[in-house]
Amino acid sequence: MNSNIWLLTFADAISIATTLILASLGAIITERSGVINLGVEGMLLMGAVTAFVVADSTGNLWFALFIAVVVGVVLSSIHAALTVGLRANQIVSGLAMVIFGTGLSQFIGKPIEGDPLPVVIRPLELGWLADLPIVGPVVFGHDVFTYLTWVAAGGASFYMHRTRPGLTLRATGDAPATVDAQGGSVARIRWAHTMVGGALMAFAGAWYMFARAAAWNQAATTNGIGWIALALVVFASWRPLRAIGGAVLFGFSLQVPFTLQALQIRILPPTIVAMFPYLITLAVLVLLSTPRARRLLGAPKMLGQPFVRDER
Amino acid sequence: MQHNAEVPLALAARAVTKRFPGVVANDQVNFDLAHGEVHTLLGENGAGKSTLASVLCGLYRPEAGQVVRDGKEIRLNSPRDGLTHGIAMVHQHFRLVDRFTVAENVVLGHKSLSFVLATAEIEAKVAAITEKFGLPLDPRAVVGELSAGERQRVEIVKALYQGAEILLLDEPTALLAPPEVEKLFTTVRAMTHAGKSVVFVSHKLAEVVDISDRITVMRGGKVTGSVRRGEADVRRLAELMVGREINIVARRAKSPVGDVLLSASQVHLERDGTAMLTDINLEVRGGEIVGVAGVAGNGQRDLAEVIAGLRTPQQGNVTVCGVPTAGSGARGARRAGLAYVPEDRLGTGLAPSMSIRDNLVLTRERGFLVDRKSALLEAETFIKQLEIKTPGPLTPTRKLSGGNAQKVLLARELFALSGARVLVVCSPTRGLDVGAVETVHALLDEARDAGKAILLVSEDLDEVMTLADRVLVLYRGRITLERSGADTNVERVGRAMAGLAT
């Protein structure tokens, strides 16, 4: 019995990790171009509520996911317009995106609060793989998107480190003036990656809605996962593959309190545990504020810095 | 190298005019470059030579005139256009990504790169170029860990990799130690042997005579003359640059030196766990100038800041006029009688938006109320005495030219009411025109004769050799050479700057 509940905990950790990987992958891609988007939580909520509403009226899961992605692109392009186009402060704009995304999703989601899910994402039937001891239930009991997410992380890593546009992307986060001098468009690269990042974040929310959540529960639906994804970016040193391991670890630590509760072991009051995501985010932001820490952690050198060409 | 009429010129500028707000940087400039030629653009800062090079590579678009490549007029809207015509510029400030490898930097932004990077192939190609042109570099080295000379090589390799036939080198020797300059010249020769042409932009007269097939001198946005190899006469070139006869005379202490006013002993400074200064011992007496020479980034700035009290060394003592000041901050050092003229004169030395008068008052320590009358008087005196070109004492210092701003700063630090006895001055003539350089040198000379102890930290070796009674060489945070002005020779100091002296 006890060993079963721990297997479930591991399986849940991997499942939660899917959202974390998707969201932090979005953040990594965005940040590698030099743009920091703190609005992840808002993007998750918007992705989730959009997917719910669209699925509710059409019954089509794929269409719902698609519209959620479109919403992610639109929202993140607002962030790009402010920070890349108008060179506004990225932190302020990002926090505004959280408030905006949270508020708008609650407004949209009010009528459907507590309704049953119109569609769900079900785990794949993997036959004998799922019957393997331990590995079966932990690794092979997930839905198709979980596996695709791992592939996506590998793809992102390959893109960043082994392809021409990836090289330019990393250069844009580290030395935008260099890219500019070579005729590359810093603005275009930042716009594009901020939008792709936003799409991934919103998709992460939509997936979470149909695969993990029981119902739309307003802002509590995602419960701070977006903030954890941001911390995960730092933990993974802006590398997509490291985000997978980090996400499982973070997912596990998110799941453990529930397991302990189920086992009637009480270490910390749940209200304290609920504070963790925000504490971690705060710690990350403080950490990122010193140039030395940024360098040691491997942050893109010009993260958060608007690019202005050095005109004579 | 002779160019004859049948072979079209590799590159030419025809009556190029380029204006910036308030200044005509290039005024009807003509310039040409034959195949396989090294043609130097010589001139003071602000003469317009970098502007011309920028026009030739496509960075700036001229208001009038043409750029002609192999006899045909070309229109360049960006450096990328320049590259398609085989023209590349190596900038004074490198444009490299520190965290990338040499190979990654070389191929970054290259048009014909495949979507998936063929790393091994790229590295082999880079290695081939480095070998052919005598540019020793490891394609896999991380650029952030390379020296200035090596980074410059990366830039050159990058230009060659992109197929450049014409290389514009903007002040390529500014950051190099003399032996690295020799290596650069070897590369330049290898490039011209391979049929490539080089435009060498420089203000260092003595250096360019050797390497150039032709030298064209610019002043105030115009070409003032052009000489071929063999006709080059340093004195004549200097006159073309400056527009009048100049005399480079060493200025040395006229009176015997006095007591030790500034001393540092066994100073050791670490930053982020790296030793920036190691076992620094120095003494400066009243009435002498001690010059600290070194290639940029060998700890000069840290040394100046430790002495000025801006940094606290982990070990060692600093004494100003007999008062130990290490650890007592900038104010402690100043109270003990130290004045500091930082390299960044406008940002750190002066408050740019405040008037000349108010800047003079900034370092006064007595009284709560500002004595505006005496400050105004002081400002007016300085403006007259030092020939500071400004509408008046209430003009904000940011509106002054570099030379005039430096005069204000030196006046405050040296001669104002708060006048100190010890002066630390960093690169005081960087970016100044020749006239201003002379004034600044005369001021420092005057201060020395008035019995002040001066520590001159400068990357300009000529400046140190001209002014200093004693020369220290700083290399990787250590003093590797100490010589008194009379028995120093430039070569010896140059070798020490490159870390070669024993």
CATH number, domain containing residue A247: 1.10.3470
Q: Supply the pTM of this predicted model.
A: 0.74
Residue A7 sits at the chain B interface (C-beta within 8 Å): no
Residue B2: predicted pLDDT: 47
Q: CB–CB of A179 and B109 under 8 A?
A: yes
Nearest-neighbour CA in chain B from A202: distance (Å): 28
Write the pLDDT tens digit of every residue in B404-458: 888 888 888 877 655 688 999 998 887 777 677 888 888 898 889 888 999 999 8
Sign of CA dihedral B52, B53, B55, B60: negative
Q: How far is CA B324 from the centre of its chain?
A: 33
Question: A128: Cβ–Cβ under 8 A, 6 or more apart, which residues?
Answer: none
Is A177 in the B-facing interface, judged by CB distances under 8 Å? Answer: yes
Q: Count other C-beta atoms under 10 Å from residue B321's C-beta.
A: 18
Closest residue by Cα to residue B452 from B479, B480, B425: B425
Q: CB under 8 Å to A16, separation ≥6 — which residues? A: A212, A225, A247, A251, A254, A255
Q: Closest partner residue to B80 among A162, A171, A183, by Cβ?
A: A183
Q: How many CB atoms lie within 10 A of CB A218?
A: 14
pLDDT score of A156:
97
Distance CA A286, CA A75 (A): 26
Please answer yes or no on whether A175 and B20 come within 8 Å at the CB atom. no
Using a CB-CB cut-off of 8 Å, the residues of chain B touching A299 are: none
Residue A124 counted as domain residue: yes
A77-86, B85-94, B250-259, B465-474: which has the minimum mean pLDDT? B250-259
Q: Which residues contact B378 (CB under 8 A, 6 or more apart)?
A: B357, B360, B416, B417
Kindly state the average pLDDT of the residues B236-241.
77
Is B119 in Cβ contact with A167 (below 8 Å)?
no
**pLDDT at B11 (0 to 100):** 93
Q: What is the pLDDT of residues A207-218, one digit of tens each?
A: 999 999 889 988
Interchain proximity A164–B80, CB inside 8 Å: no
Q: Answer whether A293 touches B (CB < 8 Å).
A: no
Q: Does A309 reach chain B within 8 Å, measured CB to CB? A: no
Chain B positions in Cβ-Cβ contact with residue A179 (cut-off 8 Å): 108-109
Residue of A nearest to B93 (CA): A178
Return the DSSP state at B143: G
The beta-carbon neighbor of A171 closest among B79, B108, B114 is B108
CB within 8 Å of A164: residues ≥ 6 apart: B113, B114, B115, B116, B117
Q: What is the mean pLDDT of each run of 10 residues along chain A (312 residues)?
A: 80 93 97 95 96 94 96 97 94 95 95 90 86 85 94 96 93 91 88 97 96 89 89 91 91 83 78 74 76 82 84 45
A112 lies within 8 A of chain B by CB: no
ipTM over 0.95: no
Architecture of domain B11-242 in this structure: 3-Layer(aba) Sandwich (3.40)
- pLDDT, position B1: 44
Angle at A161 between CA A155 and CA A167, to 5 degrees: 115
Q: Which residue of A has its CA nearest to B113?
A: A164
What pLDDT, on a 0 to 100 scale, did the predictor assign at position B3?
Answer: 47
Asked if the Cβ–Cβ distance from A167 to B95 is below 8 Å, we say no
Q: Has residue A304 been placed in a domain?
A: no
Does the domain at residues B251-337+421-502 carry the CATH identifier 3.20.20.140? no
Distance in angstroms (rounded) separating the CA atoms of residues B191 and B439: 41
Q: Where in chain B are the domains?
A: 11-242, 251-337+421-502, 347-419
Mean pLDDT across B266-285 = 88
The answer to whether the CB atoms of A174 and B96 lie below 8 A apart is no
In three-state secondary structure terms, B502 is coil
Q: Which one of B81, B83, B90, B95 would you mutate to disrupt binding with A, by most A Cβ within 10 Å of its Cβ?
A: B95
- Measure the CA–CA gap between B489 and B483, rounded to whole angstroms: 9
Residue A309 lies in a domain: no
**Smallest Cα–Cα separation from B462: which of B437, B444, B433?**
B437
Fold identical between B11-242 and B251-337+421-502?
yes
Q: What percent of chain B has pLDDT over 90?
A: 35
Q: Between chains, do A164 and B114 touch, taking CB under 8 Å as contact?
A: yes
What is the structure's pLDDT at A77?
Answer: 96
Residues of B within 8 A of A170 (CB-CB) are 97, 99-100
Is the CB of A174 less than 8 angstroms away from the CB of B107? no
**Statement: residue B273 has pLDDT above 80:** no
pLDDT in tens, B76-125: 988 888 989 999 999 888 889 989 999 999 999 887 788 888 889 999 99
**Rounded to 5 degrees, what are φ and ψ at B132?**
-60, -40
> Measured between CB atoms, which of B91, B98, B107 is closest to A174?
B98
Question: For residue A165, which residues of chain B lie inside 8 Å, CB to CB?
Answer: 115
The residue of chain A nearest to residue B100, with distances taken between CA atoms, is A171
**How many domains would you assign to chain A?**
1
pLDDT (tens digit per residue) in B172-205: 887 787 778 888 999 999 999 999 999 999 877 7
Sorted by sequence, the CB contacts under 8 Å of residue B126 that are 6+ apart come out as B102, B103, B106, B137, B139, B157, B161
Whether A290 contacts chain B with CB within 8 A: no
pLDDT at B486: 64
Q: Which residues of B touch A175 (CB under 8 A)?
A: 95-98
User: What three-state secondary structure class fits A190?
Assistant: helix
What is the residue range of A125's domain?
2-297
Q: Which of A58-62, B52-56, B278-282, B345-349 has the lowest mean pLDDT?
A: B345-349
A164 belongs to a structural domain: yes
Size of interface A-B (CB pairs under 8 A): 59
**H/E element holding B197?**
strand B197-202
Interface-testing mutation among B108, B155, B170, with chain A (most A C-beta atoms within 10 A): B108
Secondary structure class of B310 (helix, strand, coil): coil
